[in-house]
Structure 1
Amino acid sequence: MRWSQSLIPTMKEVPADAEIPSHQLMLRAGLIRQLMAGAYTYLPLGWRSVQKAAQIIREEMEAAGAVELHMPALQPIELFDRTGRNEAFGSVLVRLDVTRGDRKVHMALGPTHEEVVTDLISRHINSYRQLPLTLYQIQTKFRNEERPRFGVLRTSEFLMKDAYSFASTLDQLNTSYDAMYAAYCRIFQRCGLKYIPVEAESGPIGGDASHEFMIPAENGEDQIVYCESSGYAANLERAETGRKTPDLSGSNSSAALEKVYTPKAGSIEAVCKFLKCSPEQMIKTLIYVADEKPVTVLLRGDHDANEGKIRRALGAKSLELADEKTIQSVTNAGIGFAGPVGIKCDVIADHDVPLITDAISGANETDQHYKNVNLGRDYQLETTYDLRDACEGDPCPKSGEPMKFVHGIEVGHVFKLGTKYSESLGAEFLNEHEKREPIIMGCYGIGVNRIVAGLAETCHDKNGLLWPISIAPYEVLIIPLKTDDEELMKIAEKMYADLKGQGVDVLFDDRPARPGVKFKDADLIGIPFRIVIGGKGLQEGIAEVKARTAEGPEKIPLDQTVEYVSKLVKEAKAELLAPSAT
């Protein structure tokens, strides 16, 4: 492609409303332009990168046995009513009422396609002999993002690869899940991404049923709990800790249990202020209803409950915070004054709770708290559990080494759906005994735009973008220094044609601009290899070849430049395909 025939509106200055590097650089390099909040036009360079990412995804999906289809973005709202997601999505779902003749048709713009694909399968799959099956598409999705920000990292309209597996047995589901997981690793490696597979909260089947793929990035909105020693990684919702049950024989403290009047102090903050203590000295007492039965959960005052861990510790299918009436029934007190001493329901505690000597807790009496609460004398525990969010410095569950927090950008997610959608939408099959069963499903998503934005966020220097060759809009940029020099342009044109003939993706900067302008634009848009022709080099019969990340150029004879650059491109591509330890 000739630069003069494309649309590459580069910018010298950093846009004032661009918050993070990827947004700034994608605007400055002429990859995108904003139409309105949450909606962007992809200009030629940006769209080429997106399409290259999509092609890698297609190749790896099909290598993993998935079959491509294309489903409509417009979806009947009735499908969302049947799965309960019309209400669950809330304002995120973009709803439309369309007049057709004398009636209103209620529909939505698809935020994802679980309902549509399950409805399709319910009509065409009826026997275990037709399973397993994995379908995928690359399709535009719509979500009413209340706070669009960070350029194309958080938008209302985005391009997504979503795949869905359908199985008759858990073994089939696990095989499909493992195939998609491995395909994701290959996709992100080929795209040149540094990524971390992160354990996420399990699906309805249980076990290790969900993984997110994160790009470590300073401006990432998600937090990853990570151990460098073992490689263990999980999101905050899922992260386990290596803490163990401590000694439960009880405290040796001789301090007497003391009830104190704490008027209207029903929160940790208020009690700490009133009693001049720290949250670490308090026992936080939360009342939940697990499978319709009240249960007390004890945590240290400065820790946050992790409901996924609590649910698993209790073996509960459902878990929710108790209402005021339930709290009153088990504590005889208003909200904010619960404690372990004498509470009228089962109690479970986090590992850190028994370690608090002379603790402060609610007294199960309105406006009253206890001081000097100690295990063994004032309340009893048979065991303890990991019930809280992980904290930086907690021991790794695999190595025991301290874990740290890393910010990340989620670029992919694989998880096991189970039978939630197949049961709601009647997707069943006849098993080998001629009995009907719901199809077991998995779901696998990749944010195609996020691959490009994630690379822009993490692969750049002070001069501009540093594209991996697989995602770069072009692999090679040819810069003739003087476009009005007939001899020079003849050589440049032949080199351009010969490189294209070798299968190299080439951008030809044929603008009548100053060399300095061309060099700055070349660094900004980040093409991996640059060929400069002209000046003294032309007189010497050489071209200057420079990799985007190299300090300086190499001088290559003109008649060897095409072969030399073609080899560089092939080697760069091969490097991305090499086995990785990631």
Structure 2
Amino acid sequence: MQASKYHINTLKEAPAEAEVISHQLMTRAGMIRKAAGGIYTYMPLGLRVLHKIERIVREEMDRADAIELLMPMVQPAELWYESGRWEQYGPELLRLKDRHQRDFILQPTSEELITDIARNEIHSWRQLPLNFYHIQTKFRDERRPRFGLMRGREFTMKDAYSFDRDEASAQGSYDAMYDAYMRIFSRIGLEFRAVAADTGSIGGTRSHEFQVIADTGEDLIVYNPESQYAANMELAEAPCLLAERATPREDMVKASTPGAAKCELVARQLDRPLTDTVKSIVLATENAETRETAIWLLLLRGDHELNEIKASKVPGLEAGFRFATETEIQETFGCVPGYLGPVNTTRPVKVIADRTVANMSDFICGANAADYHYTGINWGRDLPEPDEVADLRNVVAGDPDPAGGTLAIQRGIEVGHVFFLGDKYSKAMNATFLETDGKPALLQMGCYGIGISRIAAAAIEQNHDGKGIIWPRAIAPFEVVICPMGWHKSETVRNTAQALHDALQERGVDVMLDDRDTRPGIMFADWELIGVPLRITVGDRGLKDGIVEVQARREAEASRIAPDDAVAQVMARLSSL
């Protein structure tokens, strides 16, 4: 391919709204152009990247015996009424009406539609197992779309759905997809981790995220460098940091702590470690029938942070909770926030202690009086045992892994997610098949998503430098670029460059010949920004010395190679990238 016949339009500056490096570089490299907030046109270079990602995904889905179909982007609301997600999904679900005032949605995912297909297409156990997938545009009406393709509203996604007779075989389908995902991300050439994850709004009972490791990632991954353990922060189990509760050594004392509304300030004023303090978080739940409000007091050690996903799994909080209002707090504790605690509350409150807090003794907490805290608090002596003990907190780096070793934390970008759904959707939508005994049974389902467009952005977040993008070879828009110095002036340069181009193309290399009439510095800067893995420079001066230059995008220096050896050398270099 020749650059003069292609569309290359790079920019020196990124738009001011581009906050992350992938958004900046994809815009500058001419790969995407903004159409509206969170909605982008994929320009030719960017589309080539997406197509290469899609090809790898298709090959591995087919290898795993998944069958491709294509479901519509616009879906009827009736299916979402059946599943219960018409209201549950929230404002990210873009709802619309046709001319007949019938409700539709722009699909954010396809569980409802594929379940409808399955209940109409799958009749007998003899047809199982089945796994359907498609690659399609999705739309989620993000409140604040940002970060380019990382958190856009419209995006390209592969989603697959497995159907099985029973849970055991469904778990086998899950494992097959897990293995396929491992192959996909390995082939793409990304550093990634598969981590245990919460099932979120999709539902189900088993889930793994595939996270591309990047310092700019929004997600926190907890892992053990000495084992295979990895989980996202929402799911990672935080161990109790105290093996047992120590015998009390202090009396309970009401201490003056003026202006100390945070544990850090309390510890400083009292000259005590932050780990001696306990913070109070007040939640509220409402009974749907009686409309009565219940107040919950969650207790964490002063240096720990609440994990809301874990809190939502506490019995009584599963149906939903909110943070209590200041009025509710004052009615319950007789005090403004900042000085709250479980001792002598004005009204009954349900106390949930984090595992570590449940084993603390002689701890410090609010006295339910402004500018005062209690010191020397002990369970069973100064206040009743907690109503419930639960894992409520985020893991922190250095926490012990109960299985051995120490936990560490790194950032990641979620690019894939696999779920075991069981009968969550088949039960709601009555998707059954006839078993061997002739009786109907619910289909067991799994779903498996990969963010095609997000992979492109995540690859850049992981692979870039001050000059631009550094694509893994497998998804680079071009594998090799040939940069002739003086294309329009030297027949020798033209002939050599064209011969290299044709020879590489015959060998299946995705190669670009830059025949534009532009200065070498501009040409090099363009291709470094675009991120092509390997560059061949052909010039009169080098040819007179019997050499061309070959340089990988990550290398600081070029290698000097004889033109006759260049093709073999390039093929060898590509195989190592």
Q: Deviations over 1:63-115 (max 9, x none)?
A: 1121111000011112222222221222211111121xxx2221111111111
Displacement after TM superposition at 1:398 (Å) = 3.0
Question: Does the alignment pair 1:253 with 2:254?
Answer: no
| Distance in 1 between residues matched to 2:440 and 2:536, nearest whole Å | 65
Q: Partner amino acid for 2:19?
A: E
Displacement after TM superposition at 1:291 (Å) = 11
Return the match for 1:437 from 441, 444, 448.
Answer: 441
Q: Partner amino acid for 2:76?
A: P
Q: Deviations over 1:215-253 (max 9, x none)?
A: 1222211222233233432211101134366324x6323
* 3-state secondary structure, aligned to 2:90: helix
Q: Answer with 506-515 or 300-309: which moved more.
A: 300-309
Displacement after TM superposition at 1:34 (Å) = 1.3
- Structure 1 residue aligned with 2:553: 548
| Distance in 2 between residues matched to 1:535 and 1:571, nearest whole Å | 29
| Distance in 2 between residues matched to 1:323 and 1:473, nearest whole Å | 48
Question: Does the alignment pair 1:125 with 2:130?
Answer: no
| Distance in 1 between residues matched to 2:118 and 2:381, nearest whole Å | 60
In 2 relative to 1, CA 69–322 (structure 1 residues): closer, same or farther, beyond 3 Å?
closer
Q: Deviations over 1:333-391 (max 9, x none)?
A: 67976727799788653222145433455789999986543123233479954332222
| Distance in 2 between residues matched to 1:94 and 1:286, nearest whole Å | 33
Displacement after TM superposition at 1:202 (Å) = 5.0
Return the match for 2:108 from 99, 102, 111.
Answer: 111
| Distance in 1 between residues matched to 2:460 and 2:549, nearest whole Å | 26
Q: Answer with 148-157 or 387-396: which moved more.
A: 387-396
Return the match for 2:450 from 446, 452, 459.
Answer: 446
- Contact 1:311–1:317, Cα closer than 8 Å, also in 2: yes
In 2 relative to 1, CA 128–555 (structure 1 residues): closer, same or farther, beyond 3 Å?
same
- Structure 2 residue aligned with 1:536: 541
Q: Deviations over 1:181-223 (max 9, x none)?
A: 11111111111111111211257664xx111111122221122
1:498-509 residue pairs with structure 2 within 5 A?
Answer: 498-509=503-514
Q: Partner amino acid for 1:339?
A: P
RMSD value over aligned CA atoms? Answer: 3.7
| Distance in 1 between residues matched to 2:566 and 2:351, nearest whole Å | 75
* 3-state secondary structure, aligned to 2:190: coil
Uncovered stretches (5+) of structure 1, i.e. residues with no partner = 573-582
| Distance in 1 between residues matched to 2:421 and 2:482, nearest whole Å | 50
Q: Answer with 84-93 or 373-382: which moved more.
A: 373-382
Q: Answer with 155-164 or 453-462: which moved more.
A: 453-462
Question: Does the alignment pair 1:516 with 2:521?
Answer: yes
- Contact 1:251–1:376, Cα closer than 8 Å, also in 2: no
- Structure 1 residue aligned with 2:63: 63
1:181-192 residue pairs with structure 2 within 5 A?
Answer: 181-192=178-189
Uncovered stretches (5+) of structure 2, i.e. residues with no partner = 289-293
* 3-state secondary structure, aligned to 1:90: coil
- Structure 2 residue aligned with 1:34: 34
- Structure 2 residue aligned with 1:578: none
- Contact 2:252–2:374, Cα closer than 8 Å, also in 1: no
How does the TM-score come out when normalised to structure 2?
0.86
Q: Answer with 340-349 or 499-508: which moved more.
A: 340-349
| Distance in 2 between residues matched to 1:377 and 1:36, nearest whole Å | 61
In 2 relative to 1, CA 78–279 (structure 1 residues): closer, same or farther, beyond 3 Å?
farther
| Distance in 2 between residues matched to 1:254 and 1:512, nearest whole Å | 83
- Structure 1 residue aligned with 2:207: 210
| Distance in 2 between residues matched to 1:279 and 1:288, nearest whole Å | 27
- Structure 2 residue aligned with 1:79: 79
Question: Does the alignment pair 1:20 with 2:20?
Answer: yes
| Distance in 2 between residues matched to 1:532 and 1:370, nearest whole Å | 74
* 3-state secondary structure, aligned to 1:416: strand
- Structure 2 residue aligned with 1:300: 301
Q: Partner amino acid for 1:30?
A: G
- Structure 2 residue aligned with 1:580: none
Question: Does the alignment pair 1:152 with 2:158?
Answer: no
* 3-state secondary structure, aligned to 1:544: strand
Q: Partner amino acid for 2:353?
A: A
- Structure 2 residue aligned with 1:575: none
